[in-house]
């Protein structure tokens, strides 16, 4: 049987980056996938529209762990406008692809990050929420 996951996915499943919580997070967002019941929480420290630090906790499948892990690497140090350009396809591409039936797992991380931007801008930064 051929391996359905790329070497990068396997690496992130076995060695997930930025796992845990952040005591000094100023944005905490959750996302869930109703189709499987899995759930993800991001703890994020945002300063001046830049992600200074991010960690995550998850109850999910291997693909969800890998996509959340690489998503933290992709957004670390990035501006919130850059975060809004990240979607499920880009996360999957960064992992050298995901099986089609696992694409919904990467959507969980992307939607949570977009919600984090909206939460920060609508509360802490006092800006209007972006129309998506
Ligand atoms: Fe639930 Fe992957 S099967 S997030």
Each residue of 21-79: pLDDT tens digit?
999 999 999 999 888 999 999 999 999 999 999 999 999 999 999 999 999 999 999 99
Picking from 2, 14, 5, the residue whose alpha carbon sits closest to that of residue 103 is: 5
129 belongs to a structural domain: no
> E strands within the chain?
27-33, 38-47, 50-59
Tell me, yes or no, whether 130 lies in a domain. Answer: no
Reported confidence tier of residue 130, pLDDT bands at 50, 70, 90: low
Q: Does residue 61 have an active-site annotation?
A: no
Q: Which of 65, 105, 110, 118 is catalytic?
A: 105
**Residue 11 belongs to a domain:** yes
Report if residue 50 sits inside a domain. Answer: yes
Is 36 tagged catalytic?
Answer: yes
pLDDT of residue 125: 75
- What's the 34 CA to ligand 1 centre distance in angstroms? 9
Q: Give pTM, 2 decimals.
A: 0.91
Predicted pLDDT at 118: 95
CATH of the domain at 20: 3.90.1010.10
Q: Find the catalytic residue in 28, 36, 124, 129.
A: 36
Number of domains in the chain: 1
Is residue 109 scored above 80 in pLDDT? yes
Is 132 inside any structural domain?
Answer: no
Distance of CA 3 to the CA centre of its chain: 24
- Which residues form the domain of 106? 7-122
Residue 2 lies in a domain: no
Least confident of 25-29, 50-54, 81-85, 126-130: 126-130
């Amino acid at each position: 049987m051929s391996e359905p996951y790329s070497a990068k996915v396997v690496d992130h499943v076995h060695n997930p980056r930025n796992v845990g919580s952040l005591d000094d997070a100023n944005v905490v967002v959750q996302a869930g996938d109703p189709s499987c019941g899995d759930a993800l929480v991001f703890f994020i420290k945002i300063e001046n529209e830049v992600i200074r630090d991010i960690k995550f906790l998850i109850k999910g499948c291997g693909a969800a762990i890998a996509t959340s892990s690489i998503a933290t690497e992709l957004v670390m140090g990035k501006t919130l406008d850059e975060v809004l350009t990240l979607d499920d396809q880009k996360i999957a591409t960064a992992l050298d692809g995901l099986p089609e039936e696992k694409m919904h797992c990467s959507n969980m991380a992307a939607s949570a990050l977009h919600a984090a931007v909206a939460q920060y801008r609508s509360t802490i930064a006092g800006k209007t929420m972006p129309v998506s």
